[in-house]
Structure 1
Amino acid sequence: MIGKLEMFMALAREQHFGRAAESLGITQPSLSTGIRQLEDQLGVKLVLRGSRFGGLTPEGQRALVWARQIVGDARRLREEMRFAREGLAGHLRIAVIPTALTWASRLATGFRASHPGVEFTILSRNSAEILSMLENFEVEAGISYLDNEPLGHVSTAFLYRERYAAVCRPDHPLAAREVLDWSDFAGQDMCLLTPDMQNRRIINRAFLEAGVAPGAGLESNSTVVLASHVEGAGLITVLPDDLAAFLVSGRNLVTVPVAPGDTGPAVGLVAPYQEPHTPVLQALLDTAEQLAAP
């Protein structure tokens, strides 16, 4: 039953039989057979079929809620039993907003110093994707904004508040300033994160409140691309100060604090709300609280 529920969840996530089968490492006929067997066991039709996937039936939508709960409970049971046998071990997958990747590295390094039996995979994703991946069990945790846009029913552990810095070449007109205000970017040609990134929406709101609308000559979902373009094309960007300091190291770039007195949004670890958490996930939440900036 658990295996068939995982097939059903994969199909609901991918909305395509072929992609769902590939994500599970099985053939498409095996997936189709598993879904039909699940429908037979439950006595209802879960999936609308035609020449391709047509969505979930109303019964399928309700079954998906139960499937996520049952599969989640089964995975927690396996983790509890592994902890009883082996102590803290396993593989943690964490999805992280691009502006928090340096903090993800700190978190993983600090955790593995105490628990070397746990391996990490760190993925760069936007905040909406992180919530979707948590819901679909594609990752065990995420690092995202805590108080800027709705998160839903999750467990959280605060890490830090964002502060901002401009990144530019030393010959940029704003490079010699000791501090900048959001209004100083009026008329500047900038490169910024893409609009699907919550950080971009936060910065856009700051610009709007300051009454300016600087142009974005380049947009990217990669902060490395932004830093490279600033250095190569002489543009200017705004990033969280911690990440900005990391990106300018060894480059012909400087940072200038932006509105240092402002209180920025909180960023932290997010995980599916569970009672109780698995031992590994609880240890990760505890590590995040210990790592949190004052």
Structure 2
Amino acid sequence: MFLKQLQYLREIERHRSFSKAAAACGVSQPALSRAVRQLEDELGIVIIDRKKKVFGITDDGARVLKWAHDILRGVSELRNEVSVTKRAIAGIVRIGVIPTAVHIVPLLLDAAQERCGDFASEVHALPNGSIIEKLVSKELDIGIMYYDQCPQAKAFQVRTLYAEQQVLAASGAFELPEGDDIGWEAASRLPLALLTREMRCRQLVDVGFQTAGVEPMIRLETNSLELIHAQVMTGKVATILPISSFPLRVPPPGRLRLRRLPGFSPGAVGVVRLSEHAAPEFASDVWDSVMKTSLQDDLDLLCKPVTAPRRKR
């Protein structure tokens, strides 16, 4: 039995497809299928039911997969332990975060470093579903995601970090109303770059426009925040995004202006981990640190215009 065979099984379970699992593992489909058959022959059981039209894992296969997850997690923790020893650091923590919350991760890591000492981190920007999958398969220690997208089960521990504050953001190329707010009707008349419809914060934006009874003028839809930021700074489009999705500093001063959208239904972003899983001690220390960290003051400062110093006459 080889670790690669267990890794293949894990990807087959995740993708429910031999071809997609092979692509994820960087091998040919025949090579992956052959490796799984060799494992089945070695164990004397059938893991994948190939007779059904719908992809299926047998009961024996489900038990093997449970062991596969545990073995792969143990190997990962062993490698981390060796790496920690070599680098003389406190530990390694693996974090999955939704793209719109990436910029709050440095705040959490800074707070953890103050309490836990020098450490390493692996941070992956992932959609909600992938974060849950990788928590279950023990490939992640902590997830940062939409609270309402986490399964309501005893298997997970969840704590709300903050309620998203979504805003309309535009460069100085657009005339925006005075004050801190903008109405949905006024926002709908601006050319917008928005995230794609499968993303949770975009769904909340759609609800806002629908409730106001207006149709937005969408010029770009993408799952890339970097592309939206770049397009907004060209002055060709505006956008509606959570404040937490913007870089902590948006240069140069005055180029980006923000307006709140009244009546917006904010999404709650929370931190998640498996409750049934005995996490590595260091990952538990980081979790405890996150539990004691308040982000509200930092979020209130995100993307606020920086007043340029007055020139002395």
TM-score range, shorter chain: 0.7 to 0.9
> Which position in structure 2 is the counterpart of 1:250?
252
Look up the equivalent residue of 1:280 and give its one-letter code: F
Please state how far the C-alpha of 1:168 moved relative to its aligned partner.
0.6
> Which position in structure 2 is the counterpart of 1:293?
295
Separation (CA, whole Å) in 2 of partners of 1:77 and 1:125: 21
> Which position in structure 2 is the counterpart of 1:210?
212
> Which position in structure 2 is the counterpart of 1:163?
165
Matches within 5 A, 1:124-163: 124-147=125-148, 150=151, 153-163=155-165
* Residue pair 2:191, 2:236 contacting (<8 A) in 1 also: no
CA deviation string 1:32-74 (max 9, x = no partner) = 5653354245432112569xxx944433663366336644774
When residues 244 and 26 of structure 1 are mapped into structure 2, their CA distance, relative to the original with a 3 A threshold, is: closer
Aligned length in residues: 289
Q: What RMSD in Å do the two structures reach over aligned CA positions?
A: 3.8
Which 10-residue stretch deviates more, 274-283 or 221-230?
274-283
So what's the TM-score if we normalise by structure 1?
0.78
Percentage identity across aligned positions?
23
Separation (CA, whole Å) in 2 of partners of 1:142 and 1:183: 36
Please state how far the C-alpha of 1:200 moved relative to its aligned partner.
0.8
Separation (CA, whole Å) in 1 of partners of 2:107 and 2:67: 34
When residues 283 and 20 of structure 1 are mapped into structure 2, their CA distance, relative to the original with a 3 A threshold, is: farther
Please state how far the C-alpha of 1:191 moved relative to its aligned partner.
0.7
Please state how far the C-alpha of 1:9 moved relative to its aligned partner.
1.4
Separation (CA, whole Å) in 1 of partners of 2:94 and 2:80: 18
> Which position in structure 2 is the counterpart of 1:63?
63
Correspondent of 2:18 among 16, 19, 28: 16
When residues 224 and 104 of structure 1 are mapped into structure 2, their CA distance, relative to the original with a 3 A threshold, is: same
Separation (CA, whole Å) in 2 of partners of 1:18 and 1:243: 31
> Which position in structure 2 is the counterpart of 1:114?
115
Task: Determine helix, strand or coil for the equivalent of 1:196.
Answer: coil
When residues 149 and 27 of structure 1 are mapped into structure 2, their CA distance, relative to the original with a 3 A threshold, is: closer
* Residue pair 1:48, 1:57 contacting (<8 A) in 2 also: yes
Look up the equivalent residue of 1:243 and give its one-letter code: S
Look up the equivalent residue of 2:115 and give its one-letter code: S
CA deviation string 1:173-219 (max 9, x = no partner) = 32534312334323332110111211111211222222222021001
So what's the TM-score if we normalise by structure 2?
0.74
Look up the equivalent residue of 1:96 and give its one-letter code: V
Matches within 5 A, 1:145-294: 145-147=146-148, 150=151, 153-174=155-176, 176-244=178-246, 246=248, 248-250=250-252, 252-259=255-262, 264-293=266-295
* Residue pair 1:80, 1:279 contacting (<8 A) in 2 also: no
Look up the equivalent residue of 1:189 and give its one-letter code: P
Task: Determine helix, strand or coil for the equivalent of 1:283.
Answer: helix
Matches within 5 A, 1:16-95: 16=18, 20=22, 23=25, 35-40=36-41, 42-48=43-49, 55-59=55-59, 62-63=62-63, 66-67=66-67, 70-71=70-71, 74=74, 89-95=90-96
Look up the equivalent residue of 1:192 and give its one-letter code: L
> Which position in structure 1 is the counterpart of 2:300?
none
CA deviation string 1:9-32 (max 9, x = no partner) = 133335337954973x89988865
Q: What are structure 1's unaligned runs of at least 5 residues?
A: none
* Residue pair 1:161, 1:266 contacting (<8 A) in 2 also: yes
Please state how far the C-alpha of 1:145 moved relative to its aligned partner.
0.6
Q: What are structure 2's unaligned runs of at least 5 residues?
A: 297-313
* Residue pair 1:131, 1:151 contacting (<8 A) in 2 also: no
* Residue pair 2:192, 2:219 contacting (<8 A) in 1 also: yes
* Residue pair 1:134, 1:271 contacting (<8 A) in 2 also: yes
* Residue pair 2:8, 2:21 contacting (<8 A) in 1 also: no
Separation (CA, whole Å) in 1 of partners of 2:171 and 2:256: 4
Please state how far the C-alpha of 1:144 moved relative to its aligned partner.
0.6
